[in-house]
Amino acid sequence: MSDPILATHSLSRSFGALKATDNVSIDLRAGEIHAIIGPNGAGKSTLIQQISGVLAPDQGRIELLGEDITRLSTVTRARAGLGRTFQISALAMEDTVFENAMLGALGARGNPWSFWRAAKRDTALSETALAALEQVGLAEARDMRTADLSHGQRRQLEVAVALTLAPRAFLMDEPMAGLGASGSKQMTGFLDGLRAEAPILLVEHDMDAVFALADRISVLVYGQIIATGTVDDIRKDAAVRAAYLGEDL
Identify the CA nearest to 66 among candidates 33, 30, 24: 30
Q: Is 17 a binder of other proteins (CB under 8 A)?
A: no
Closer Cβ to other proteins, 71 or 236, answer by number: 71
Q: Is 161 a binder of other proteins (CB under 8 A)?
A: yes
Q: Is 220 a binder of other proteins (CB under 8 A)?
A: no
Least Cβ distance, residue 207 to other proteins (angstroms): 27
Q: Is 107 a binder of other proteins (CB under 8 A)?
A: yes
Q: Is 74 a binder of other proteins (CB under 8 A)?
A: yes
Least Cβ distance, residue 160 to other proteins (angstroms): 12
Q: Is 166 a binder of other proteins (CB under 8 A)?
A: no
Q: Which of 8, 46, 156, 164 binds other proteins (CB under 8 A)?
A: 164
Stretch that binds other proteins, among 29-37, 91-99, 130-138, 222-230 (CB under 8 A): 91-99
Q: Angle at Cα 216 formed by Cα 135 and Cα 213, nearest 5°?
A: 35
Stretch that binds other proteins, among 120-128, 133-141, 190-198, 208-216 (CB under 8 A): 120-128
DSSP labels, the chain? -PPPSEEEEEEEEEETTEEEEEEE--EE-TT-EEEEE--TTSSHHHHHHHHHTSS--SEEEEEETTEE-TT--HHHHHHHTEEEE-SS----TTSBHHHHHHHHHHHHHT-----SS-GGG-HHHHHHHHHHHHHHT-GGGTTSBGGGS-HHHHHHHHHHHHHHT--SEEEEE-TTTT--HHHHHHHHHHHHHHTTTS-EEEE-S-HHHHHHH-SEEEEEETTEEEEEE-HHHHHH-HHHIIIII-TT-
Q: Is 91 a binder of other proteins (CB under 8 A)?
A: yes
Number of chain residues interacting with other proteins (CB under 8 A): 39
Closer Cβ to other proteins, 21 or 49, answer by number: 49
Q: Is 29 a binder of other proteins (CB under 8 A)?
A: no
Q: Is 132 a binder of other proteins (CB under 8 A)?
A: no
Instruction: Report the distance separating Cα 10 and Cα 100, nearest Å.
Output: 36
Q: Which of 115, 123, 143, 196 binds other proteins (CB under 8 A)?
A: 115
> Which positions touch other proteins (CB under 8 A)?
52, 73-76, 78-79, 84, 86, 90-95, 99-100, 102-104, 106-108, 110, 112-120, 122, 125, 161-162, 164-165
